[in-house]
Structures are given as structure tokens and as C-alpha cells.
A and B are shown apart, each in its own frame.
Chain A
Amino acid sequence: MSTENKYFGQPLSRVDGPAKVNGQAKYAAEFYVPDLLYGYIINSTIAKGSIKKIHAEKALALTGVLKMFTHENRNRTAWLDLKYTDMDAPPGVPFKPLHSAQIKYNGQPIALVVAENFELARYAASLIHIDYEVEPHNTNLESNLGEARKPKKGLASLLKSGPPKSKGDVAKAYEKSEIKASGKFVHGMEHHNPMEMFASTVVYEPEGKLTIYDKTQGVVNSQLYVANVFGKAFKKVRVISPYVGGAFGSGLRPQYQLFLSVMAALDLKRSVKVSMNRHQMFSFGYRPRTIQNTRFGSNIEGKLQVLHHEAIAETSRFEDYTEIVVNWTNMMYPSENVNLDYKLVPLDVSTPLDMRAPGGVTGLHPIECTIDDLAYQSKIDPVQFRLINYSDVDSISGKPYSSKELKECFKQGGERFGWDKRDPEPRSMKRNGKLVGWGMAVGIWEALQLPARAEATLGADGKLIVSCATADIGTGTYTIMTQIAADCMGMDIGNVEFCLGDTNMPLAPVQGGSFTSATVGMAVHAACTGLQKKIIEQAKKIEPDIFKRINLDDIEFSSDSLRIKGHSGNFISLKDIVASTGKSDLKSRNTGLPDVLKQRKYARTTHSAVFAEVEVDEDFGIVKVTRIVSAIAAGKIINPKTAKSQILGGMVWGIGKALREESIMDHRFGRIMNANLAEYHIPVHADINDLEVIFVDEEDHIVNDLQIKGIGEIGIVGVAPAIANALFHATGKRIYDLPITLEKVMS
């Protein structure tokens, strides 16, 4: 059997686009059932201590207020900590909402007020007063660096390997290096801030069955959590999440509104909805504040001699959140002398959480700025410097890259940007009285594939439905899976529908880590291939068997029928094949498994070369990013339109990371003071100018048969260092702390 790629690689518009713009696409808080109750969450206003007394008399006296849930009256939930462990839980003890009177961080959820309507619940919550026993807290990473220690290991460490052992003699090699560059890089805390806020609508059905509309990057993860925590059978918990209004990693773990809404629904035996407000979106998971030191050395010809890169990040007192920050150094650049170190400082804060390219965004900035520094000092063009140190082998694992078209990224990106017209001298370029700077950086991210299952169903109407319990967090999953399925079946895309976000569908991992396209794509491919076999088997049962003695390779799926290649007259329609079964459809449920035997011999990553231009008003320190060209090598691109959008989003966020975003903690209160979108500055339209994306063609028969590598993270990783390097070129000043606000640039 064979088909041709008609849709794979085509810039199709999103299949879910119309539903999103006409309002038919429903998000977790937009589902309604009769007699729905509303919960409003109360969060702690101290960072450490315990709750002495909750004064709720006034609130509970209001007509229409049903109950306030606190640690004193909550339902019995699982006793074992392990039961609270979700699929993305780091080593440690997961936070358990309303577990006890103890306050572990400022903003911790401590009560839920449930009322007949939202306004009433919110008003009631405002009447509640809480007395605390306050204990001294510590939220300051800088003043606690002495507490830094190695992270604990756990299940999550499997996907997040720690730093490798040191190689060579780093101190001596640095001392002897002809060119040296070093820096201390401080990154502020950042919050995800997706447009849609976290919400769960829990529909309570007879016999305690729950249907939960949840904002999540993995319905299976939410189901697992609810079943384990509340001791319910999996079949009694159905989680649905058809649309997600952005998540960026924040939905990789079940958030506390899920716990609270389920708890209230089970206790009151009513349906309950709980949504967070924007302020509460700052009360859990974030990109941790991180302090990094680099010391790189090269010889005068630009050959790297030594790489030292250490990172210290904050985490909570109860979980060791880790990310891969320093390993990239040696994955990208070979050297004989390498020391990479990663430590954590536990503080009285909530646990950090994966945020778009976790660790990559953090680590690449120091790496690429220190490399840039070496290039300048050795008077070698920054692109040339990277070519001198280019490697087709990952120096940590010693494995060759399955594909690495980074040189082509340099070439195509550089040409489009006009890199060869650059005067390398800092402060040499001016325009409209402002300094102009050109900088570049490299990006890298993993190309993973995990196992997943999918089901392909051919209906009596001849239409195909493929389903998988994955998510579409705005990335385009609906669209690209429809494309893959349509091509695999040789069908018109209008006859193919892809469904996701429902625990009744076949199992998929959470959507994250840039692995969904490959993971679910291969599951869809497996299910469609399985279905094709069933269709052919069934077709051969139809008399007369026109496929008798026909080689499988000569049977072709073509639009709405099965035919013999080159014989236009010999075909059976798919509808007839389904009808011949006497049933309503033909189904196949299959698993897409990574080819581990093939993959394990290779390092599998995506790459990017990012070229940025800035204009700097030095009097005021105002930096304008006038242009970025990002050239991406990420295997085969399924849909250049949705892929471009994803890379553009990463570039915009890269600008935010470099210049704008920081959650500001007042350590006296251990509290984030700009927890709203007016004062937490994400870039606005006026901050964004020319952004260009190039997808470099890359063949890769190792990663998977579809040659998909995933692009969720690669768009952001190189952007902040490219901007910082452009800023150096413009001003001659290296600014190591992000975000680069104007007072850091003012001369």
C-alpha cells in the first residue's frame, strides 16, 4: 500500500481556526451545566508560618454561600505523598492544597469559598479575615547562595539529566588560555502568563462520576492526579480539554484549582467551577531566578580550550525542580577541559515549573554571550568563531548528531540578515542618531519522541476520525495531525478529523518538551497504517476480490477509495468496505513507539541561528529590537504556517526575556509585587518589528519515519543572547543581567 504526501509540508490554515474566532471553541471555564456552583480561592498573604484562625462568619452568613473549605474541614484525601505525584512532578513531596495550617509560600491557596454564583463567592472571599502565626521567611536567592546543593534525583531526572563529570584540568586550562571570557549572569523570575487563566469545571454526575473540563497540557495527567488523590477509579474520572488558551509549560502539572474544584464537587455532590484570576496566575510555577557564572578560554585562533559553566537556581523547600541549564555548553562546543555544575537553593517559594525551553533559555544566554565575548577578543567574526568550534558530535555523550544543518542556518540566516555587511567594531554603526548593533547566537533543543497511542476510525460515511488524548495548546496539533492522517490514508483533508483532549481517547503523554509532533504524529501514523491493513483485509473479503494476487505495494489509497495502482477502473470505495463489515465503522488502535535501537546511537537535537539588530538610544537606555532573522533546522516541517507562528511566538518571548519580563519579589514580604499584566511587562505590538523565520531543509531518518523533530522550544532559545550580543555591538557594553531594563543601558 502506498500514498503520497499531499498535505505534509503545506502551509494550511488551522483546522480549528474558524471555531476559535467564532467562539465555538470552548475553554475549561466556558462549560456550563445546570445548578453549577462557583468557588473562589483565597491565598495566603504571608510567606511562612501557619494559620491561627480564619474569621469567616460574615462570609458564611450570606445567602447563597454554601461552604468554605479549609485545612480544618477538607475532605479526606490520599495519605501517601506519592499519590499527589503527577507526571511532571520533580523529586520531593508535592504541594498538597489545604493539607494543614502550615504556610510554605506567599500566595499559597488556603481556602475555597463556594457560592451559587461567581460574584457572591468573590465577595464572600473578600470578607474573610485570617490570623497567622508568622515565621521568618527566606526568598532571596542572592543572599542564600551558601545553601546551594546538588539536586535530588527522581523520576523526572530521566528526562532531565544532570551535568556530566568534569573533564581535564579546568583551572589550569583557563589560566593558560590566550583569550579568556567570563561573566556572572543573573536572570529574574518569570511567569508563564498564558492568555487563558487556569480553570476547572467539574461536572458531578450520579454515583460520583466526574467529568472535568480542565485547563491542562495533558488530560491523562489530570485524570491520574484526581483518581489518585481522591481515591477514585480511573473510569469514574473523565477529563476533557479540547482547547487551551496558551500554557507554555504551566499546564504540565495539575494546578490547585483542579484539586479544589474536585474536592468541593465531591463534598457538596454538586457541579463546581473554579477559575483563577490573573493575580493567582503568579501563585504557582515559574521560570526560576538563576545565577550563572561562565569562564571560557580559547587560543588565539579561536579554538576553545576550556568551558566552565555553573548555575544556581531557586526551588521550593518541598520539591527539587531542575532543568537542563549547563549541559548545552558542551553539547554545542567541544573542549578538552570542561566543568559544568548545577545547584539549587531551596527557599520559601512555590516550586518552579517548566517554562518554554526550560533551562535552554536560561543556559544559552550565558553560553552564547561568553562565546561572543571570546570571538570579539580574538577578532574573529562570531559566526566564524562558531564554525571553528563546530562539531557534528555531542561532546557529552560522544554520539553523532542524527542531523545538524546548523551550518546551513548560518548561511541562509546570515545572507537574509546581511551579516557580511557588518562592521565588527562596537559603536561603529549609527542610524537616526542612535547606535545600531548586530548580534547573533545559536540555539539548540532536544528532539525527543515518547510512546503514545492513537485510534483511527473509518466511518460508514467514508470519513476518518483519528483521536488521541494529547493537547493543542495553540501550537497546531489539530492541524498537523489532520495533515499526517490525511496523507497516510491518501484522503482529502476535508474528510479527516482529528480529536484530542479527552481521557476516553487513547493514551498520550503531556504536551511539552517539543515532543508532541513526533510522539503523536507517529501514533497517528501507526493507527492509520493499522487501519489500512484492516481495510485491505476487509476489501479482500468482498467478492469478487479485485486485489487477489496483487502485491500490497500496488494497492493504493486514493481519496475515497482503495485501488490498484495504474488501474483506474479497479477500485472499491471506502464506504463500501465499511458497509461490507455490517458494522458502523472500522477501527484501529495502535501505539507509536520510538525506534530506540536506532535512536540511541545518536544525539537528536534541533538547531537555530538567530541574527538580531538593535537600535539604542544611549541617553535613555532604550533598546529597540528592529529586526530578527531566525534560521531553524528542525527536521521536516509539517506545516510551515503553524510552524512559523510558533517560532514567531518564541522570538517575541525572546525579546520579552531579554528586555522586559520579570516577576518582582519584595523579599520583606516574600511576595511578587507586579502580579498583573500592566506591571509584568510582556512585549506589546509596538515592541515588535521585523521578524523573519527561515526553515532550513533537514533530512533525518533517525529521529522517526516522518522526520519530525519538534519546534516548540527552538524558536526562543537563541533570541535573548542574540539581542544581548547586538546590544554589545551597538554600545560596547556587556550587560549580563536579564531583563535588560533601561537603567542598565544608560551610559
Chain B
Amino acid sequence: MNPFVYTTVEKVDEATSLLSKNLNAKIIAGGTNLIDLMKENISKPDEIIDVNRIPGLDQIKELENGCIRLGALARNADTAYHPIIAKRYPLLSRAILAGASAQLRNMASNGGNLLQRTRCYYFYDTATPCNKRVPGSGCSAIGGYNRIHAILGASEDCIAVFPSDMCVALAALDATINISGSAGERSVAFADFHRLPGDTPHLDNNLQQDEMITSIDLPVNGFENNYAYLKLRDRTSYAFALVSVASAFEIEGSIIKEARLALGGLAHKPWRNKDAEDILTNKEASVENFSAAADLILKDAKAYDRNAFKIELARRAIVRNCLNAANLHSNPI
């Protein structure tokens, strides 16, 4: 870990101003990922800006238009157990609680959750080449031990996956991310926040150096009647998803009026496929239709040496989870 200056701020613009002055400064909230990255010499900020004392950012509140605003500093655990979230957005609650461990969720902030870095083995080991860590050095996961790696949207420069569970639900719910920067405030649709690796895998998302996330807005519809989150992993807790699925439906009778499907553990960002959601709209909730949606999502899936099983696993997970969301399957995992 390299030496750094530690600063506390009490206003958002203080933080963004410091960020704009020092390209090597980083914000710390929960620190559950950043500290690990610093210990492994992957992240080497020389200035740490502690935003935990900025008042108001830890709130979860209802806006006048009925949307819910999740403060960037609200802890993952507080968010998952918040009465409004548990009642109106149970999909989000389930997804958060599927992630990490109780201790980590108590510490991790909502803003930080969006900014987690990949758990690719090679990204974490400075002894091996990694384009995400050192642009241009190569991707060791390709041709390496890539059992946990991407099958969708990867590039020849990077096949890492994004690790968050919470973000899979936020993607399905069409959340909006509110950002403050030295140039002012802006809002970004969730789908436009995280990036695919392309030839710039060192960029996980579209947040600029002088910006910080201040809150996340959830639309009014939380799909509280027909939702399910499924996470498949190598052990029952404290493991990242090999495949995760968030399904949310509006169902009238047995007909799906609106469908949301987001996948985790398969790509460089939470994966949504609007075409697959569209083909489910106004269709019956059935194994056949869910299978067709799964096939469409995985149509262009590409496996590497060790992760071919993920394609079939994802297909089954999508079908099972959609059945669960539609209350048609009696065997939740």
C-alpha cells in the first residue's frame, strides 16, 4: 500500500473539487473493495477523500413523484432491510442480501456497490498481465483459468465480469444514477452507467474522475408481485455469482404485460436484453416462452476454455427464475 493523504469532507462539492484537482485521488465510503485493492497494489491513490460525513447522503426517501431515492452513502444492509425497499422493491432487497457477507453489507455503501471492480483472478494478481489493470499488457484470462469469466459482451482485450448483485436488480428496475461533478449535476440511466470492455477495459463505467455518485433513484414500479432473484455460485454464501438472474413481471391472468430480465456474472456489466423482454410481453408465462427468451439472450454467448457450462447454466437459471417470478415453480433454490 502506498502512502496517501486522508481528507474528510462535509459537502459534495468539496469532494468533487478535490477530485478535480488531483487525478490520483479517490473517494472512500465503505472501503470494502478499495482497501483490498490498495493492499494488493492494484489501486494506488495518493489521496483518500472520506465522504462519510457528508450529511443527507445516507438517506432513503420517497420523492414527490413516488420514486424512491437511495442515498449513495446508505449502507447495503440498511437499504435491503429498509421497510420501503423490503415492501415495494423486494427484488432489490433479495439481490443485495445475496451478495457478500453480513459484515461487508453493513459497511458497503450503495454508491460504492456500483463501483466495485471485477474479481478476475488476473486483475488481482500484479504478477500477471491484465489490460484492465495495466492497459496494453494483455488479457491473462483468455487462455487461462477462465471458469468464472464472461460469456456475453466480452472483447479480445478483457473477459472479466462485473461482480455486483445489487446492480443486477437495479438494472432490472431501470434505476437512475444521480451524479455530481465539478461541472454540475447529471443523471444517467442505469443501463448507460457501466461499460462493456471493448478496447478500453480499464474503464468499468462512465463516471468521470471529478464526479461522485450522490444517489440512485428507483422508478415507482418495484414489481413487488412478480419478482425473483437467483444466484448460482460455488458455495452457499460469500461467493460471487457464476450466474445470477433478476426477473420481474407485471402479469395479468397468465399473460405477461411487462417483463424485466437482468443477468449477473456473465458480462462486464449487468446484462439486459430488451428484445428478450419484448418477446415475453403479452405472452403467457410459460416454460416455452421463458426458454425462448433465454435462447435469445444467449444467442451470441461465447465460451472460453473453462466456462462453457455457464451458457447452459444461464439458460436454466433464466427459465427457473422466470418461473419463480411468475409463481409457477415450487422449488426455489
Contact = CB atoms under 8 A, between A and B. Distances in A.
Interface of A: 45, 106, 119, 122-123, 126, 432-434, 617, 619-622, 624, 660, 664, 666, 668-669, 671, 673-676, 678-679, 681, 683-687, 741-743, 746
Interface string B289-333: 000000000000000000001001100110010000000001101
B316 A685 contact: no
Contact of B316 (A620, A671, A681): A620
Given A122-B1, A671-B127, A673-B144, A743 B236 contact: no
Given A666-B121, A678-B119, 20 more contacts: A126-B1, A433-B331, A619-B316, A620-B320, A660-B235, A666-B128, A668-B143, A671-B127, A678-B240, A681-B234, A681-B235, A681-B239, A683-B235, A684-B236, A684-B238, A686-B236, A687-B236, A687-B237, A742-B234, A742-B313
A619 B121 CA distance: 27
6 contacts: A122-B1, A617-B333, A668-B140, A668-B143, A681-B239, A742-B242
A673 B140 CA distance: 11
Given A433-B330, A666-B140, A679-B121, A686 B237 contact: yes
Contact of B145 (A119, A432, A666, A683): A666
Contacts of A106: 127
Nearest to B331: A433
B239 A746 contact: no
Contacts of A620: 232, 313, 316-317, 320, 333
Nearest to B125: A673
Contacts of A664: 121, 145
A671 B125 contact: yes
B2 interface: yes
Chain B interface helix/strand/loop/mixed: loop
B330 A743 contact: no
Interface of B: 1-3, 41, 119, 121-122, 124-125, 127-128, 140, 143-145, 147, 232, 234-240, 242, 309, 312-313, 316-317, 320, 330-331, 333
A673 B145 contact: yes
B232 A684 contact: no
Nearest to B243: A620
Contacts of B127: 45, 106, 669, 671
Contact of B234 (A122, A619, A671, A741): A741
Contacts of B145: 664, 666, 673
B149 to A, nearest CB: 12
Contacts of B2: 123, 126
Which 4 pairs of residues, A with B, have the shortest CB-CB distance?
A433-B331, A45-B127, A686-B236, A743-B309
A685 B124 contact: no
Nearest to A432: B331
Nearest to A127: B2
Contacts of B140: 666, 668-669
Nearest to A660: B235
A664 B125 CA distance: 13
A679 B119 contact: yes
A431 B240 CA distance: 27
B1 A668 contact: no
- Residue with the highest number of chain A CB atoms closer than 10 Å, among B3, B41, B125: B125
Contact of A434 (B143, B242, B313, B331): B331
B142 to A, nearest CB: 11
B333 A622 contact: yes
A687 B236 CA distance: 6
A119 B3 CA distance: 9
A126 B238 contact: no
A622 B234 CA distance: 8
A742 B144 contact: no
Given A678-B119, A743-B313, A126 B41 contact: yes
A678 B238 contact: yes
A126 B124 CA distance: 15
B3 to A, nearest CB: 6
A432 B332 CA distance: 9
Given A666-B145, A684-B237, A673 B1 contact: no
